[in-house]
């Protein structure tokens, strides 16, 4: 398909995991009915963003992620019944003591295509993900779906050009970024505009540098911190960028939205031909990229 409709679910989450899951499922169905071919959730959509604190109790939110798990079986049925590809972000329990921030891809016929485990794990105030998540070990990959060859990266991955490049080099024409990012209220007035602009700009840059589409799906709303600290105001503004870095769609700052954006995959070949970044890469000169720092 040259023309593909991507669907984005930007929403608030409650304390009720079942409510969040059912709400998302209904939004997937609604978007599919409205013409979406591929639908992505936001990061960790089944719960509030629990990484604001370090608390062993939250490991109980994790689930086994494979074809036999109830969540995957439900999403497979939804995908097949609605002829829609689903990208879903989940808290994965791999085994006792090893947990991942994981995204799964399910094809429009209900086939489970596999998963991506978040590679870059942050550890910032109110984003204490290193406490919960082991870095991914499945590499950067492309999922060949009915409608398009897609890649999936997750939130903090979006700051790293290496991740976008390797995903695009594996064949992805669309890179999805399920995300949970926002402002700390105490910082918003002084740094909020710069923080958001940096986030959007770096991802639009990935689209340009790799001649692909970027779809960033963020959550929205204020979530109080479980320990009584200031909490996070998620800034929404989910968006779709084309290979020229132009915004085709952008959501609101503070509203739940079900969004559909048509993208034209036929332009990718011409973009990559006229802007031949892949051709001109000096792969013989990049050995030092695997070093932590060049002294």
Measuring CA to CA, how many Å separate 196 from each of 97, 182, 209, 234, 286? 34, 8, 20, 11, 30
User: Which one-letter DSSP state was computed for residue 155?
Assistant: G
Could you tell me which residues are beta bridge partners of residue 7?
39, 260
DSSP string for 57-116? GGGGG-B--STTSHHHHHHHHHHHHHT-EEEEEEEEEEETTEEEEEEEEE-TTS-EEEEE
CA distance 100 to 288: 28
Which runs of consecutive H residues, i.e. helices, occur in the chain?
Answer: 17-33, 70-82, 161-169, 185-210, 267-274
Active site residues: 43, 118, 155
């Amino acid at each position: 398909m040259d023309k593909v409709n991507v669907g984005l679910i930007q929403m608030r989450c409650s304390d009720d995991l079942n409510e969040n899951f059912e709400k998302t499922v209904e939004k997937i169905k609604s978007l599919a009915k409205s013409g979406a071919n591929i639908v992505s959730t936001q990061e960790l959509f089944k719960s509030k963003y629990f990484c604001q604190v370090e608390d062993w109790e939250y490991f109980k939110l994790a689930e086994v992620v494979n074809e036999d798990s109830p969540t995957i079986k439900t999403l497979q049925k939804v995908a097949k019944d609605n002829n829609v590809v689903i990208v879903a972000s989940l808290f994965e329990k791999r085994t006792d003591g090893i947990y991942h921030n994981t995204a799964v891809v399910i094809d429009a016929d209900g086939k489970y295509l596999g998963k991506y485990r978040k590679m870059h794990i942050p550890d910032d105030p109110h984003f204490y993900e290193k406490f919960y998540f082991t870095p991914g070990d499945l590499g950067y990959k492309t999922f060949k779906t009915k409608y398009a060859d897609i890649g999936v990266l997750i939130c903090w991955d979006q700051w790293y050009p290496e991740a976008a490049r390797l995903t695009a080099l594996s064949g992805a024409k669309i890179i999805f970024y399920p995300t949970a990012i926002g402002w700390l209220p105490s910082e918003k007035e002084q740094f909020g505009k710069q923080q958001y602009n940096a986030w959007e700009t770096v991802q639009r840059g990935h689209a340009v540098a790799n001649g692909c589409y970027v779809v960033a799906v963020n959550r929205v709303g204020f979530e109080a911190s479980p320990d009584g600290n200031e909490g996070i105001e998620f800034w929404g503004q989910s968006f779709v960028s084309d290979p020229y870095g132009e915004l085709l769609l952008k959501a609101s700052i503070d509203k739940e939205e079900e969004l559909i954006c048509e993208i034209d995959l036929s332009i990718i070949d011409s973009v990559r031909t006229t802007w031949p970044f892949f051709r001109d890469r000096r792969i013989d000169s990049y050995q030092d990229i695997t070093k932590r720092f060049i002294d």
